[in-house]
Structure 1
Amino acid sequence: MEQYKYTLDKSSKKHICPACNKRAFVLYVDNEMGDHLTDDFGRCDRSTNCGYHKAPPKGKKVFNIPFLSLKSISDKAYKLTDENGIISIVPNSQILEQTKNDCWISEWFLKNSLIPYLANESKYFNTDEIGFVNVITAKEPPPKIAPSFHSLELLDNMYFEKPHIDNLTEFLKIHFSKDEVFKATQNYFITGTNHFWSNSTAFWQIDDKEKIHACKIMQYDRHTGKRIKKPYNHINWLHNAIKEPDFNLCQCLFGLHRVNEDYQKTVAIVESEKTAIIMSLFIPDYIWIATGSKQNLKFELLKPIKKRNIVLFPDKGEYFNWLNKATELNAIGFKIAVSELIEQTDFENGFDLADYYLK
């Protein structure tokens, strides 16, 4: 059975974090001696606002790798399909522990693999002699359901034949000229709709092959440009409005279709669709696209732009999360830089690049 020389203190005691100076720091404990390590070895519980984590540099370091399947292919190796769909052949000796849905793989192996791991949970083993333990081989994942797509005719009908006023476009006219707003709505096929709520905005997710993956519908305040969140979040999908119950939603980045306009331009990524549109007016030297949510900054969605120069502009409070994800992706061939501009402001969490430029 595995033993860990160092583990995070399981008591409720918190110390001052060396990075953010908040009392949210959990120290490592030497399990053999029962003593805390020095004050710089530990993890800050403020994962979004700080993210500091320094583990003891002893023992065999392993990272937690969630997987879709792990199947034995010989007495010496396993075929691992990670949660991003990346397939790797992993020696038995490098998988130190496994449960039903994840396993712990040595840092030595991961450094030479395509498996993203740097943002994952890690721990240390007290010896380098530990072999493969607690093996539970998962079944092959069920066959994937083909993604659904909207038709170009549907987009044409909503954009050209039955146009509606939407509150977001009206807000943009307060800050930009009529011609600038018209150009932006053309570039992103911004469509007004009365589906779900009056004067809502439809954001079409069109990929680099001109396939329409989805259409997100949101409602904004026409005076402030803020999304309506009370009494509930006003977000829905076009396939629900037109009653397509078997629609298999498989998103792409918002604005992805624009990467074909200029192959030399840097691709700038923000979270909000609204922010991508606004920044395309302020800084047209970039191609602006949006993830639509902080969770959508992931390999599957960024894969079509792997060869492009990319810069991320995370919202306030998300810098370290996006930096960790960029580090993972750069390890497998991406070229991603992460801007600290918004993180360095004094604004509250959630503040983004459009808010900064509209101030």
Structure 2
Amino acid sequence: MNTFQYILQPYTGRSSRHTCPACEKPFQFSRYIAAETGEILANDVGKCNRVDKCGYHYTPKQYFANNEENTVAVEVYTPTPQPTAKQTTYIDDSIFKASLKEYNNNNLVKFLHSTLSTQQVNQVINMYNIGTSSRWNGGTTIFWQIDNKEKVRTGKLIKYNPVTGKRMKYTNWVHSILKIENFNLKQCLFGEHLISKFPNSTIGIVESEKTAIIASVFLPDLIWLATGGAENLNKEKVALLSGRNVILFPDTSKDGRIFQKWKEKGDKFGFETSNYLETHTNEEQKADGLDIADFLKDNDKTKVIHKSKTTKEPTIIDEKDIIPQIPYNTPSPIAIIDSKIQNPPKFEGADLIIKKRIFTAPNGDKIELVGITDYGDCGNWKAHDKQNRPCRPCMLNCLHTIKINGKLQKRKYTQLEILILQQE
């Protein structure tokens, strides 16, 4: 009986990645091959790179168990541990610096200009060292992985649709394209170079590099990093975050699996995991895999919407360089969002109490509070009961479901927003 050792096919370009038999996404499936001969075991034996959104992994061991007529002694290849750790290889600075141009031809930058101001786009380009590549007929973005010592580990090439901002079917790595001999890749988190520059800031971690970039504009109180994939949220890559206040912002998923997976990892590392998207998105949004940047951009959560007394149409007030004026005792996402309200009143004592369940707003709208989600652990679930009893003072970490003029509102309102509406 022959003994074979099987490994996942090493990446040598798009031809080494195949269509996943489960999710049917092209160029995402790595097949198992014989380590010595390179022969493919079977077309469906392998692992999907979309760990969170698909998770398909059919091992050689499972294959032979299901196909007894082909039974051989099988061993999945595990590389022999090296006696000494290899030194990390870095990308030459000249290659990195040469990419920091041609932004008029960068598809992602074009999309950002349709969403953000020119000042904001320039800010994120400089902050995250966004690069441009002429690969795939131009317009390709390079997300450079720069470590805390300002050394470039590698760069991920992704091409986006300049109108929708969606990823196109093109992905590669700088170190793979350069084919550097004996290159020893040791990845870091995207944005790691920002950690030491902002030693007192809370750190937000998302999966996508694009998400981190956009979130940094809408919620600048946090330093935004990206894993580039759930598998990169591991002990080695988060070691630098020891002692820092870290909040994970997982993407949504239809069954909540991604949130649960990130929460398990967050608990393991002592990080907070935000459930804000889980409680503020509908089933359609979850099925689409909405992320925090999509939510902030689409819902404009960093703007305050006031009602005009004459037209009763929303008047939107933009915030640019607003300094938070309300102290919070928790780094919850609600507090972060509320901290963007322009010139908020300083509520103290009895003013912190929501006095009525049904009231008239300053513009004449009839407001009715019909539901509450408590994020402040005050436990006062009688706030909206039939006896019209009010909330007690707390840390302003409640979300309220309301009706305006009898119409149920799609989004929930923070407690601070309700207090502002209730002002006389």
Q: Place the TM-score, normalised by the shorter chain, in its bin.
A: 0.5 to 0.7
Query: Residue 342 of structure 1 corresponds to which residue in structure 2?
Result: 277
**In the TM superposition, what are the counterparts of 1:256-271 in structure 2 within 5 Å?**
256-271=192-207
Query: Residue 156 of structure 1 corresponds to which residue in structure 2?
Result: 97
CA contact (8 A) 2:157 2:174 kept: yes
The letter of the residue matching 2:241 is I
> Aligned to 1:296, which of 232, 239, 262?
232
The letter of the residue matching 2:156 is K
Alignment TM-score, normalising by the size of structure 1? 0.57
Q: Deviations over 1:226-274 (max 9, x none)?
A: 0013xxxx11011222232432221100001011222111010000000
Task: Report the alpha carbon displacement of residue 196 of structure 1 after superposing the two structures with TM.
Answer: 4.0
The letter of the residue matching 1:206 is I
In structure 2, the CA distance between the partners of 1:140 and 1:157, relative to structure 1 (3 Å rule), is closer
CA contact (8 A) 2:120 2:217 kept: yes
Alignment TM-score, normalising by the size of structure 2? 0.48
The letter of the residue matching 1:186 is N
CA contact (8 A) 1:196 1:241 kept: no
Is 1:357 aligned with 2:357? no
Task: Report the alpha carbon displacement of residue 351 of structure 1 after superposing the two structures with TM.
Answer: 1.5
> Aligned to 1:321, which of 261, 266, 269?
261
The letter of the residue matching 1:174 is S
SS at match of 1:215: strand
> CA–CA distance in 1 between the matches of 2:183 and 2:197?
29
CA contact (8 A) 1:266 1:287 kept: yes
SS at match of 2:167: coil
CA contact (8 A) 1:268 1:287 kept: yes
Is 1:198 aligned with 2:198? no
CA contact (8 A) 1:269 1:290 kept: yes
Query: Residue 23 of structure 1 corresponds to which residue in structure 2?
Result: none
CA contact (8 A) 2:52 2:230 kept: no
**In the TM superposition, what are the counterparts of 1:77-116 in structure 2 within 5 Å?**
none
> CA–CA distance in 1 between the matches of 2:104 and 2:186?
26
Query: Residue 42 of structure 2 corresponds to which residue in structure 1?
Result: none
Task: Report the alpha carbon displacement of residue 306 of structure 1 after superposing the two structures with TM.
Answer: 1.2
CA contact (8 A) 1:276 1:289 kept: yes
The letter of the residue matching 2:214 is I
> CA–CA distance in 1 between the matches of 2:81 and 2:116?
53
> CA–CA distance in 1 between the matches of 2:103 and 2:202?
32
Query: Residue 178 of structure 1 corresponds to which residue in structure 2?
Result: 118
Is 1:209 aligned with 2:168? no
CA contact (8 A) 1:207 1:257 kept: yes
The letter of the residue matching 1:203 is F
The letter of the residue matching 2:174 is L
SS at match of 1:203: strand
Count of residue correspondences: 217
In structure 2, the CA distance between the partners of 1:140 and 1:292, relative to structure 1 (3 Å rule), is closer
The letter of the residue matching 2:277 is I
CA contact (8 A) 1:217 1:236 kept: yes
Task: Report the alpha carbon displacement of residue 304 of structure 1 after superposing the two structures with TM.
Answer: 1.0
Q: Provide the aligned C-alpha RMSD in A.
A: 2.4
Is 1:167 aligned with 2:107? yes
CA contact (8 A) 1:48 1:320 kept: no
> CA–CA distance in 2 between the matches of 1:300 and 1:261?
20
CA contact (8 A) 2:105 2:138 kept: no
Task: Report the alpha carbon displacement of residue 142 of structure 1 after superposing the two structures with TM.
Answer: 4.9
CA contact (8 A) 1:158 1:191 kept: yes
Higher helix share: 2
Larger radius of gyration: 2
Q: Deviations over 1:98-153 (max 9, x none)?
A: xx99xxxxxxxxxxxxxxxxxxxxxxxxxxxxxxxxxxxx9865543322111222
Q: Deviations over 1:310-346 (max 9, x none)?
A: 000001131110111111112xxxxx11000122222
> Aligned to 2:209, which of 273, 283, 288?
273
Q: Deviations over 1:177-207 (max 9, x none)?
A: 1111011100000011112452000000001
SS at match of 2:162: coil
Which moved further from structure 2: 348-357 or 273-282? 348-357
Query: Residue 36 of structure 1 corresponds to which residue in structure 2?
Result: none
How many percent of aligned residue pairs carry the same amino acid?
Answer: 35
Query: Residue 147 of structure 1 corresponds to which residue in structure 2?
Result: 88
CA contact (8 A) 1:266 1:311 kept: yes
CA contact (8 A) 2:154 2:173 kept: yes
Runs of 4+ with >4 A deviation: 138-142
CA contact (8 A) 1:239 1:245 kept: no
CA contact (8 A) 1:165 1:193 kept: no
